[in-house]
Structure 1
Amino acid sequence: MTYSVAVSGASGYAGGEILRLLANHPDVEITTVTAHSNAGDPLVAHQPHLRGLRHLELQPTTPEVLAGHDIVFLALPHGQSGQYTDALDSVDLVIDAGADHRLTSSAAWDQFYGGEFHTPWTYGVPELLVDGVKQRENLVGATRIAAPGCNASTVSLSLVPGVAAGVIETDDIVSVLAVGPSGAGKSLKTHLLGAELIGSANPYAVGGTHRHIPEIQQALRGAGATDPRVSFTPVLVPMARGILATTTARIAPGATDAEIRAAWESAYGDETFVQLLPEGSHPRTADVTGANTALMSVTIDRAANRVIIVAAVDNLAKGTAGAAIQSMNIALGLEETTALTMNGVAP
């Protein structure tokens, strides 16, 4: 069976990455791409690298245009997906790459986003441990999927094995991330201009204000944490794509080095797209560019009584579009790895 697909927000970074990956998917046909201000333009005017889709023209983003497809991807700014999802009841599978359907707490939504709160959907991180099982089990047969926040899924995947195994404490977690500006979308903003980024590293959303914090806390609660406290500081760096997240947590009393290492080995030893590196090796963002792969190292610092997890992810691939398509494959009963690669692009 070939599934017809519509992708909204197709002129943006996330929409473009969804299209890049879907273009090589043997079980889907991209029939419709939509945008707002760019409607009426050829897709390649905004995604010139997608030469195989040069026949497509951007349509207006309306429920009428999106309806009538088997699968709809919503790659819209936060707060905009909800107005469409209620009108897409006839669509078998809808996947939202925005935040509108990620959070289960309306209070957290009000605090970090504001506006109308929408029903939470099945969270699209297959490798995440939730209530003792992998999230992929919950994705089987799902009809509504919330793709993750790129920073949130990177930090959550870093921490959840240790939380679930009880080898780290969750009341003093610190995460500092080097991130590429593509995660902020294509909107023209002064702090995202090349002249502002090149040769500089710029922290933002400092002091507990980043919108991905409640998403991380939600994932940690799903792994067994009761009151997780996360100090989260992203830093914009001059690379188009990528996240390098360095996350530390206190070692739980009595946890041995072997038990700590075993927690991550057990969680990810059989995973294709989340890979734990050998002791002493650490990931680089360059090694995951264009790949649906999260590379991770776990280091034990007994002098500081902390575990240090370093994770590298391509924010547009595994962080967003790759996770969405991987979740789509699971929901439809397709091979999970279809159209996704673990191989990065180098140099």
Structure 2
Amino acid sequence: MPTLFSDTFARFRGRIDLPVRATSIPDVLACEPDAVFLATPHEASVELARGLMHAKPGLVVLDLSAAFRLNDAAQYPRHYGFEHPHADMLSHAAYGLPELFRDRVAKADLIAVPGCYPTSAILPLAPLVKAGAVATRPDGRPVRPIIDSTSGVSGAGRGLNLRSLFCEVHQQPYNVLKHRHQPEIDAYAGLATLFTPHLGPFERGILSTIHVELAPGWDDVKVRGTWSAAYGREPFVRLCPPGVWPSVADVRGTNFCDIACAVDAAWNHLIIASAIDNLVKGAAGQAVQCMNARFGLPETAGLLSGARE
């Protein structure tokens, strides 16, 4: 008897009982796919993407690893522990955040699905950076936003790890000043940031709190107006009303990113909170959204069922 997908993820029993089996590039191509999703380790994704796209020009590859997220191949040894063997592919990959890079996603055959932490930080920050909301230092550089993000235990994967055991997991920072998502956040938010990840004692979701020193002339009304202009028609970005703050419970099992803010006018200090489900908007749901955008389908297709998986 083959192992079924629902054997590993029992909540899909009776709905997705497909066999899980070892495969190869010829096996995949024999199915005549229009698109292939890669949920494989970074180094495996590099070779699989290259092999698939070489064997079938025009095939769309959506990669959920970090193999193609960074444009600079020199960053891979430091942050991901390997020399990128196909650096020529990096410039051809579209960063799969449709809210910000829809035109590129719609034309790309190689789509790098963003990381979970970066998604929660880039969505609120990027429009503000572009609009000039961030204060500058005397040397002309932007004041670095501070990003504190807490992820549920599922962000560490399903492997056995002492820190993520039920009796061991607690609120705790990790990989301080050396998390691999830092260069991704900086590249697509549009400025240098200071990012600290935390492990939280809950199953899934990411809550990010972001501190920004505002440029003169900015207040909460202008911040909200900038977000409304950027995301007012976006189906998966929800701007919370004043005084309402995001919760990981409110985005669980959804492809939404909820965003809220407050401004300390005396210090011109902006506090942002954003929440996503790291397994949906931070991974699989965003990949489906990118596929929809690439093939001209409604981006909400398959993503608004309301089911909490």
Q: Normalising by structure 1, what TM-score?
A: 0.79
Paired position in structure 2 for 1:181: 153
Change over 3 Å in CA distance of 1:47–1:342 after alignment to 2: closer
Tell me how far apart the structure 2 counterparts of residues 244 and 42 of structure 1 sit (CA, whole Å): 33
Does the Cα contact within 8 Å between 2:174 and 2:197 map onto a contact in 1?
A: yes
Q: Equivalent of 1:192, from 164, 173, 183?
A: 164
Does the Cα contact within 8 Å between 1:43 and 1:53 map onto a contact in 2?
A: no
Q: CA deviation at 1:203?
A: 1.1
Does the Cα contact within 8 Å between 1:178 and 1:236 map onto a contact in 2?
A: yes
Q: Equivalent of 1:278, from 226, 238, 241?
A: 241
2:173 corresponds to 1:203? yes
Tell me how far apart the structure 1 counterparts of residues 207 and 189 of structure 2 sit (CA, whole Å): 20
Tell me how far apart the structure 1 counterparts of residues 222 and 83 of structure 2 sit (CA, whole Å): 44
Q: CA deviation at 1:238?
A: 1.4
Change over 3 Å in CA distance of 1:84–1:323 after alignment to 2: same
Which ranges of 4 or more aligned residues in structure 1 deviate by more than 6 Å?
A: none
Tell me how far apart the structure 2 counterparts of residues 144 and 156 of structure 1 sit (CA, whole Å): 21
Does the Cα contact within 8 Å between 1:296 and 1:312 map onto a contact in 2?
A: yes
SS of the residue 1:318 aligns to:
coil
Superposition pairs of residues 1-12 of structure 1, within 5 angstroms? none
Superposition pairs of residues 171-250 of structure 1, within 5 angstroms? 171-197=143-169, 200-206=170-176, 208-221=177-190, 228-250=191-213
SS of the residue 1:86 aligns to:
helix
Change over 3 Å in CA distance of 1:275–1:202 after alignment to 2: same
Does the Cα contact within 8 Å between 1:166 and 1:252 map onto a contact in 2?
A: yes
Tell me how far apart the structure 2 counterparts of residues 60 and 344 of structure 1 sit (CA, whole Å): 29
Paired position in structure 2 for 1:100: 67
Q: What code does the residue aligned with 1:107 have?
A: A
SS of the residue 1:127 aligns to:
helix
Q: Equivalent of 2:24, from 39, 43, 62?
A: 62
Unmatched segments (≥5 aa) in structure 2: 136-141
Paired position in structure 1 for 2:131: 165
Q: Equivalent of 1:266, from 214, 222, 229?
A: 229
Tell me how far apart the structure 2 counterparts of residues 279 and 266 of structure 1 sit (CA, whole Å): 17
Q: CA deviation at 1:253?
A: 2.5
Q: Equivalent of 2:271, from 308, 315, 319?
A: 308
Tell me how far apart the structure 1 counterparts of residues 116 and 27 of structure 2 sit (CA, whole Å): 28
Q: CA deviation at 1:195?
A: 1.7
Q: Equivalent of 2:8, from 46, 49, 66?
A: 46
Tell me how far apart the structure 2 counterparts of residues 284 and 330 of structure 1 sit (CA, whole Å): 27
Paired position in structure 1 for 2:99: 127
Paired position in structure 1 for 2:49: 85
Q: What code does the residue aligned with 1:234 have?
A: P
Paired position in structure 2 for 1:337: 300
Does the Cα contact within 8 Å between 2:219 and 2:268 map onto a contact in 1?
A: no
CA deviations 1:170-191 (Å, max 9, x no partner) are: 4321011111121221121111
Q: Normalising by structure 2, what TM-score?
A: 0.89
Q: Equivalent of 2:260, from 297, 304, 307?
A: 297
Paired position in structure 2 for 1:9: none
Does the Cα contact within 8 Å between 1:288 and 1:345 map onto a contact in 2?
A: no
Q: CA deviation at 1:114?
A: 2.7
Change over 3 Å in CA distance of 1:213–1:63 after alignment to 2: same
Residue correspondences, number: 293
Tell me how far apart the structure 1 counterparts of residues 277 and 114 of structure 2 sit (CA, whole Å): 13
Deviates more, 1:312-321 or 1:73-82: 73-82
CA deviations 1:83-131 (Å, max 9, x no partner) are: 2111102171111000001111122223211313242211111112xxx
Change over 3 Å in CA distance of 1:283–1:344 after alignment to 2: farther
Paired position in structure 1 for 2:139: none
Paired position in structure 1 for 2:80: 113
Change over 3 Å in CA distance of 1:55–1:259 after alignment to 2: closer
Q: What code does the residue aligned with 2:146 have?
A: V
Change over 3 Å in CA distance of 1:53–1:65 after alignment to 2: farther
Deviates more, 1:148-157 or 1:48-57: 48-57
2:250 corresponds to 1:287? yes
Tell me how far apart the structure 2 counterparts of residues 62 and 53 of structure 1 sit (CA, whole Å): 25
Q: What code does the residue aligned with 2:172 have?
A: N
Does the Cα contact within 8 Å between 2:182 and 2:195 map onto a contact in 1?
A: yes
Change over 3 Å in CA distance of 1:311–1:344 after alignment to 2: farther
SS of the residue 1:299 aligns to:
strand
2:280 corresponds to 1:322? no
SS of the residue 1:161 aligns to:
helix
Paired position in structure 2 for 1:7: none
